[in-house]
Amino acid sequence: MIGTIEEGIRLYNMKRWELAVQAFLKASDRIEPDDDAQSLELAYYLGLCYTKLEEFDEALIYLEQVVTGAQDALRINQCRMTLAYIYVITKRSKMAESEIARLTESGFESVQVYTILAYTAWADRQYQKAVDLYKKALQLDNNNATAINGLGYILVDTAMDPQNGLLFCKKAVDMNPKNPSYLDSLGWAYFKNGNHKEAVNWLRRALDLALAPQQKEIRNHIKIVAGEAG
């Protein structure tokens, strides 16, 4: 039935985020004011949907409702992770660190925690700290493509270890050859290792697959590589 939580969840699982939001908002009109369980269920899914749609201000409203009102520790932790991710993406690193601190204080440890902390450290130009955190993530899961790619990118971008960084970036792409972020990292790694031809090849592949928010950085990389080559 259209406008039910069940319908919204079905659409969410199908990755039809916009239709899922419509279903959840219609369902919210039918919830009794004192039905906290249903309200929090809706807030949880709306927060995730708006995150997927990159409507972060809306996502924050609903995710905060879950972390302050829910009883399910697993769900609270998931929402805190998502909040931290949003704060990183929107360049609010201190708020991201605050959410991560609450997770670690509760004894929650995961690859995602370390990768978010590593990305935050990189954004703050704390490069060695970022490398150490990505390595911690890989100690928990040595096949985590996000950590492998992040570590590789830092090693080449900062010239800490360009050759090993290239190997990490190659591994990430082998694991997920259609991820534009990984393709971008590999192109940049080739550039930092002096191979302009391969750099342009992989960066163009990344641009072909990237969504609008990612295209700016990739185009900037291509411009730099083309300028060096010229």
What pLDDT, in 10s, does the model give residues 181-230?
999 999 999 999 999 999 999 999 999 998 866 788 999 999 999 886 54
Q: Is 176 helix (H, G, I), strand (E, B) or coil?
A: coil
State how far the Cα of 195 lies from the Cα of 59, in Å rounded to an integer: 41
Q: Is the separation of the CB atoms in 42 and 28 below 8 Å?
A: yes
H-only helix segments in the chain: 5-13, 17-28, 36-52, 56-69, 73-89, 93-105, 111-123, 127-140, 145-157, 162-175, 180-192, 196-209, 212-229
- Which domains are seen in the chain, by residue range? 1-108 (1.25.40.10), 131-230 (1.25.40.10)
What pLDDT, in 10s, does the model give residues 83-93?
998 998 888 88
What pLDDT, in 10s, does the model give residues 132-162?
999 999 999 999 999 999 999 999 999 999 9
Q: Is the separation of the CB atoms in 165 and 149 below 8 Å?
A: no
